[in-house]
Structure 1
C-alpha cells in the first residue's frame, strides 16, 4: 500500500483560470459550429442551446480532467 500526502485544493484563482481554459475553446468552437444552423435564432435562444451543451460538458468532463492534469503537473514539481 502506498501512502500519499494529502493534497490541497488549488486556489480560487487557479480554479477560475482552469475553468476559463475549458469554457473558452468550447464556446468558440460551439459558436462556430452552430452559426450556420442558428443564424436566424434570437441571441438568447442561441445562448441557451450553446450553454446546454457547454456547461455540462465542462463541469462533468473537461474541468475535472484539466484539474487532474494540473494536480499531476504541480505534484511532480514539488
Structure 2
C-alpha cells in the first residue's frame, strides 16, 4: 500500500452495527409517532405503519445510520 493512503477501516461487528441501527431507528420512530400519532390515530394500523415507515426508513438509512457509522469510525480509530 502506498504511503499516505489511508487504510480502509474494518467494518464494525454485527453487534455494533445492530446498536448503531437501533440508535438511529428508535429515536426516529419515537419522534415520528409523537408528531404523527394524533393526526393518524383514526387510520387503520397498516396505513399508519406504512406512513411511519415511509418516513423513518429513509431518514435512518440515508441520514442517521451513515452519520453514526462515521462517528463510530472516528471514535474507534
Same fold (TM over 0.5): yes
1:66 aligns with 2:54: no
1:47 aligned to which of 44, 49, 56: 49
Q: Which runs of 4 or more aligned residues in structure 1 lie more than 4 Å from their structure 2 counterparts after TM superposition?
A: none
> Distance between the aligned counterparts of 2:66 and 2:31, measured in 1?
20
Query: Which 5+ residue runs of structure 1 have no aligned equivalent?
Result: none
Query: Which 5+ residue runs of structure 2 have no aligned equivalent?
Result: none
For the aligned residue pairs, the C-alpha RMSD in angstroms reads 1.2
TM-score normalized by the length of structure 2: 0.90
TM-score normalized by the length of structure 1: 0.89
- Number of equivalent positions: 75
> Distance between the aligned counterparts of 1:67 and 1:31, measured in 2?
25
